[in-house]
Amino acid sequence: MIPFKYGKVVLGNDFCGREVLVEQIREFIISGQNVLVNGDRRMGKTSLVLESARRAKYRVLYADFMLVRSTEDIISRILRGIFGLDKSKSWYHRAFEMLVHMRPTVSPDPITGLPTMSFDFTPRQAAPESLSEILKLVQKISEDRTVVVFDEFQGILNLDKYDDVFSAMRGEIQHHGNIPYIFSGSNRQHIDKIFTDEDSPFFKSAIPITIGPIPFEEFYAFLSRRFAQGKRKITTDIMQKIFEIAQDIPGDIQQFCLSIWEVTDEGAVIDEDTLKEALTLIFARENESYVSKYLALTKNQVKCIRALAKLGGKQVYSKEFVLEAGITQSSIQSAVKVLIDMNILFESGNDLKFLNPFFRAWVVQQ
């Protein structure tokens, strides 16, 4: 069995490290304290939060606001989280009674076959004020030992009337003293706007916790044990190269390790040639996506990402970077803005990083 997992939540034995953070969040959950978990994309925030809830022995009402499109969308996602707590027939009957005015419909999921619920909203029911009603329902059905997790909370900023939405949500949540809420976000600038701006309804409403990469020694020990299960050996130096290529992103490190596992057999000693072979496998699987992105770029944007792939993104307006890119500072600025909008790059403090570190490695080879 392949011992590496990526692209999904990991819990229990598959969860690595962060013991201090897990214990902190576990205690906050038990004490009913609201928490803000902030960190770069794919750092494992969701796994951290859900593992903390698991160890606290709390059930989780989960809603993800990534790419949320409307207030109706927010309401639907929260309602799906409510129904995710319990899929028993008695629960669905009770839900119908509570939400009959929203015309709920139950149908089987085409993939899992499990019952799912959808809603037919009127314009009034999709207004921000209706969020208060839905959050009152959250309080009603949240028995003891329930934690509410709102993931990618900054997604609400995409709405035209996000202030009204935040006001409606905060106005109700502040009365839920018995329910811990955990807000998670992956855009520091946007999260700060929500939780540190004095004019925001959510100003100082949750204890902030920032997570970064898993410490090397901790993650190395975890991963090397997994390789050892399959009688494969890996040195510290080679593991450091894996971390460097994957930009210390836990999920991407696991993806790299999975590919290494696939290109090796029992008894293998993993070396630099193994890493090249594993990268080739990743490139082959993602080639169509990489080529499509690359061909969609203008000449200046290509020059910019090639320079970024080679030099990194900490000093994109330096003389060295301008010379490497072969374009002006203003052209670099314009290219960077578009590349961020295209979700090819993202800002991490004063650094510009590739959203997909393997795309960066692919660009280097072009």
**What pLDDT shows up at residue 129?**
65
The reply to whether 221 and 260 lie within a common domain is yes
Per the domain annotation, does 333 fall within a domain? Answer: yes
- The residue among 88, 90, 101, 110 whose CA lies nearest residue 137 is 101
Q: What is the CATH number of the domain that holds 107?
A: 3.40.50.300
First to last CA, the chain: 35
Per the domain annotation, does 282 fall within a domain? Answer: yes
Per the domain annotation, does 6 fall within a domain? Answer: no
The reply to whether 128 and 169 lie within a common domain is yes
The reply to whether 162 and 188 lie within a common domain is yes
Per the domain annotation, does 136 fall within a domain? Answer: yes
Question: Rounded CA gap, 82 and 99, in Å?
Answer: 12
DSSP annotation string for 38-99: E-STTSSHHHHHHHHHHHHT-EEEEEE-TT--SHHHHHHHHHHHHHTT---HHHHHHHHHHH
pLDDT mean across residues, the chain: 90
The reply to whether 90 and 190 lie within a common domain is yes
The reply to whether 57 and 171 lie within a common domain is yes
Question: Rounded CA gap, 107 and 103, in Å?
Answer: 13
Per the domain annotation, does 365 fall within a domain? Answer: no
Going by pLDDT thresholds of 50, 70 and 90, the confidence category of residue 264 is: very high
Our count of domains for the chain comes to 3
The reply to whether 109 and 220 lie within a common domain is no
Q: What is the CATH number of the domain that holds 330?
A: 1.10.10
For residue 89, pLDDT over 90 is answered with no
**What pLDDT shows up at residue 83?**
78
Token pair recorded at residue 125: 């029911």
Percent of the chain with pLDDT over 70: 88
The reply to whether 88 and 131 lie within a common domain is yes
Question: Rounded CA gap, 171 and 165, in Å?
Answer: 10
Q: Between these two residues, 115 and 65, which has the higher pLDDT value?
A: 65
Letter for the amino acid at 20? V
For residue 124, pLDDT over 80 is answered with no
Per the domain annotation, does 361 fall within a domain? Answer: no
- Domain boundary among the residues 154, 189, 210 is at 210
**Greatest CA separation found in the chain?**
67
The reply to whether 268 and 152 lie within a common domain is no
Q: Between these two residues, 307 and 121, which has the higher pLDDT value?
A: 307
For residue 44, pLDDT over 80 is answered with yes
Question: Rounded CA gap, 2 and 228, in Å?
Answer: 12
Going by pLDDT thresholds of 50, 70 and 90, the confidence category of residue 76 is: confident
Per the domain annotation, does 182 fall within a domain? Answer: yes
The arithmetic mean of pLDDT across residues 329-333, rounded, is 95
The reply to whether 38 and 137 lie within a common domain is yes
Question: Rounded CA gap, 131 and 126, in Å?
Answer: 8
Going by pLDDT thresholds of 50, 70 and 90, the confidence category of residue 9 is: very high
Token pair recorded at residue 57: 């022995």
- Domain boundary among the residues 295, 311, 336 is at 295
Per the domain annotation, does 137 fall within a domain? Answer: yes
Question: Rounded CA gap, 159 and 152, in Å?
Answer: 14
The reply to whether 67 and 156 lie within a common domain is yes
In this structure, are residues 97 and 41 in contact, taking their beta carbons and an 8 Å threshold?
Answer: no
Collapsing DSSP to helix, strand or coil, 115 comes out as: strand
For residue 127, pLDDT over 60 is answered with no
For residue 109, pLDDT over 70 is answered with no
- Domain boundary among the residues 176, 210, 244 is at 210
For residue 153, pLDDT over 70 is answered with yes
Around 90, how many Cα atoms within 13 Å sit in the side-chain half-sphere? 0
State the SS3 of 167-178: HHHHHHHCCCCC
**What pLDDT shows up at residue 134?**
87
**What pLDDT shows up at residue 247?**
94
The reply to whether 95 and 136 lie within a common domain is yes
**What pLDDT shows up at residue 84?**
79
Measured at the CA of 42, the angle between CA 307 and CA 6, to 5 degrees, comes to: 110
Percent of the chain with pLDDT over 90: 73
The reply to whether 104 and 228 lie within a common domain is no
Per-residue pLDDT reduced to its tens digit, 180-239: 999 999 888 899 999 999 999 999 999 999 999 999 999 999 999 999 999 999 999 999
Question: Rounded CA gap, 39 and 25, in Å?
Answer: 15
The arithmetic mean of pLDDT across residues 43-71, rounded, is 95
The arithmetic mean of pLDDT across residues 52-64, rounded, is 96
Tell me which residue range forms the domain holding 325. 297-354
**What pLDDT shows up at residue 128?**
60
